[in-house]
Each structure stands twice: as C-alpha cells, then as structure tokens.
Amino acid sequence: MKEFSSDDITCLEDIIEARRDVRGNKFLDKKIDDEILDKLLKAASNAPSVGFSQPWKFVIIKNSKKRDEIYQDFVKENEKAKKIFKDKELYSKLKLEGIKESYLNIAVLYEKSDKEILGQTSQKKMGEYSVVCAIQNFWLMARAYNIGVGWVSILKPKRVKKILNIEKKHKLIAYLTVGYVSEFLDEPELLTLEWEKRKTLQDIKVI
Ligand SMILES: Cc1cc2nc3c(=O)[nH]c(=O)nc-3n(C[C@H](O)[C@H](O)[C@H](O)COP(=O)(O)O)c2cc1C
C-alpha cells in the first residue's frame, strides 16, 4: 500500500487551490504534445465511475471551422443569457469562454450502456455524474502540467452535437477549452469581480 507524505498532501492541496477556470484572454498559442494530452486523459480515466462503467468519451477538436461554428452558438446563447441577469453591464464585460483562443477543445460525452450498470439501478444519472468526476481529474492533472482548462456551458448541446456529428446515443456533458496559459489567476475571477462570494466551511457544513 502506498502511503503519502505531508509534502505529497501539500502538493495536492496546492494543485486543488491553484486550479482555475481559464478563459480566452489567458490562453497561449502553444502546442500541447500528444503524450501530455494522454497523461491528462489517463488521469480522467482513473476517476471513479458507477459500477466501473467508465461511461466517458473525449472528442478532441482542433478543427478551426468547427470551433468557429461552436463559437457562433456561444455568441447566440450568451446574448440570451445577458438579458437574464440584473448587472448586465458587468455580465457584458465577462469573458466566458476561450473556444477559439485555446490550443484545443474537448467535448466530453456520456455513453449510455446497453446493459444494466451496478449501482445505477435506482438513480439513473449516476453515469453522468461519473463523467463529471473524470472531468475534475482531467482539470486537476492539467493544472499540475500548467495547462489551463475552461468549461464552457453557454452552448446548446443539440447544436454542438450536430456540428461535431456526435451520435444520438451520446450525451454532451461538458465542452472544455484546453491550452497553456499566460497566467493562472490567484482567485476565481467571479470572486474578484464580486459576482459571487466564496462560501466558508461554516456555510457548507450541516451538523
Ligand atoms: C459545470 C460548470 C460549468 C461552467 N461553465 C462556465 C461557462 O460557461 N463559462 C465560464 O466562463 N465559466 C464556466 N465555469 C467556470 C466557473 O465559472 C468557475 O469554476 C468558478 O467561477 C470558480 O472559478 P475557478 O474555477 O477559477 O475556481 C463552469 C464551471 C463548471 C463547474
């Protein structure tokens, strides 16, 4: 059994605390080697999954035409989103994606199994939650390699699937933008801009 040292624990804490959601204004035009990308995907595939179903697929997108089309969908969806929030001025200033600026994009899919999955018999969404676990592993390992990841959710899944020719049986869980960055901010941007406050342990602990 492998035991971890206090230095290892500090290192993990540092990576978790230093992980950021990265938007377009921070991405660099720098190649990610395939071996490094494979390390990140390996970390993703080591995530826990219901019944060890590993129900994930990662579609790697470098094609700029497809990315342009997806970006157009973002623009459309973001215009709609803008109208929903009170502070429209601040919302308009936020950079909320890096679809075109990042080195590559990844569509993360949930692949529904044809057979019954142990543990998913009462709660059907467990497979999709497993995919989110894989995304978090990917995000943290990327940070360890000083690679930034942004999660872009202001997109219509149906449209993204059409652009990428994704089969009907697959569900889009996340659209990620991935690349080396000029900097990682010390704090979430939405905290710095006072869009939201950080919850304390007291806020989240229910005793
Ligand atoms: C499920 C999910 C969806 C998100 N969607 C977006 C998005 O569409 N655009 C964006 O700029 N950030 C998005 N984010 C990033 C969050 O805004 C970010 O995680 C949060 O502000 C905290 O900042 P940090 O990740 O840098 O700590 C998303 C994050 C998650 C987990």
Determine the residue of 151, 156, 160, 184 to mutate for testing ligand 1's pocket, defined as the one with the most ligand atoms within 8 A of the Cβ atom: 151
Determine the residue of 14, 16, 21, 189 to mutate for testing ligand 1's pocket, defined as the one with the most ligand atoms within 8 A of the Cβ atom: 21
Is the per-residue pLDDT at 33 higher than 90? yes
C-beta of residue 141 within 8 angstroms of C-beta of residue 39: yes
Q: What is the mean pLDDT of residues 160-164?
A: 98
C-beta of residue 103 within 8 angstroms of C-beta of residue 26: no
Residue 57: partners with Cβ closer than 8 Å, 6 or more residues away: 108, 109, 110, 111, 170
Q: What is the mean pLDDT of residues 98-120?
A: 97
Determine the residue of 23, 95, 131, 153 to mutate for testing ligand 1's pocket, defined as the one with the most ligand atoms within 8 A of the Cβ atom: 153
Ligand 1: which atom is nearest the Cα of residue 152?
8
Is the per-residue pLDDT at 25 higher than 90? no
Indicate if the alpha-carbon torsion angle 131, 136, 137, 143 is positive or negative.
positive
Residue written as token pair 């970006």: 71
Instruction: Give residue-wise pLDDT tens across range 52-93.
Output: 999 999 999 999 999 999 999 999 999 999 999 999 999 999
Q: Which fold has domain 21-204?
A: NADH Oxidase (3.40.109)
CA distance 182 to 24: 11
> Residues with beta carbon inside 6 Å of ligand 1?
20-21, 23, 96-97, 151-154, 188, 190
Per the structure block, which two tokens stand in for 167? 């089969």
- What are the boundaries of each domain within the chain? 21-204
Q: What is the mean pLDDT of residues 14-43?
A: 97
